[in-house]
Amino acid sequence: MASAVTRATGSAFVTVTAKVSIVLGIAAVLYAGVQVVAATVVLGQVDTDALLGFLAAHSVPASATWVLTHLTTLAVAFLAVCTAFLAVSFGLLRRRLWGWWGFVLFMVAGAAANFAGIAAIDAAFSWIQTLPHQPALKPMRSEFASLRLLTLATLWVSALLFAALHGLVVWQLCRPAVRAEFGMRSPPR
């Protein structure tokens, strides 16, 4: 009887996790679709040669130049990732082994991406500080330093919280009763 209760709890956990992820996946796909349309519209109205000339004339980091020149590609890639997450969430709901593996991969990659985002935001703040100093903006420099500190602190706290949450979900998915729902008999490697 205890195994039946455990299996029901595991099933409830997987079902709720999958359904919440499906809702998030649908929202993400819609958001990513809007991003693709926005990138296409914005880039269709921008004089690309003038933008590239402006970027070449200023000390813009190569990574920022690359992002600005690949906005549509990045938006389409984001849409593809969101669609894959949605598919994996449906696979998880239907207790497919590929859904389990894909969902675990998304949980681990999502936690890692949050920490990578901290480095990217910090690099953007560093680049902004290297821009030429304007005397009229001197009072804003101390506010900018405070903003950087607050932003980085918030990013670290949220990245740690999401890493803990994602770790908890992965741990729950790796329990023997939950793995059995996906036809796995031995622990994953």
* Sequence-separated (6 or more) residues with CB below 8 Å from residue 25: 82, 85, 86, 89
pTM here is 0.79
* pLDDT at residue 189 in the model: 62
What is the per-residue pLDDT for 7? 44
Judged by DSSP in three states, 131 sits in coil
Strand spans (E) along 6-153? none
Q: For residue 20, give the nearest of 111, 93, 83, 79 by alpha carbon.
A: 93
For residue 110, how far is the Cα from the chain centroid?
5
pLDDT of residue 76: 95
Domain residue spans of the chain: 2-181
Amino acid identity, position 104: V
Q: Which tokens in the block code for residue 186?
A: 């031995």
Half-sphere exposure of 171 (CA within 13 A, CB side): 6
pLDDT along the chain (189 residues), means of 10: 45 93 97 92 74 70 76 92 98 95 97 94 82 71 86 96 96 92 76
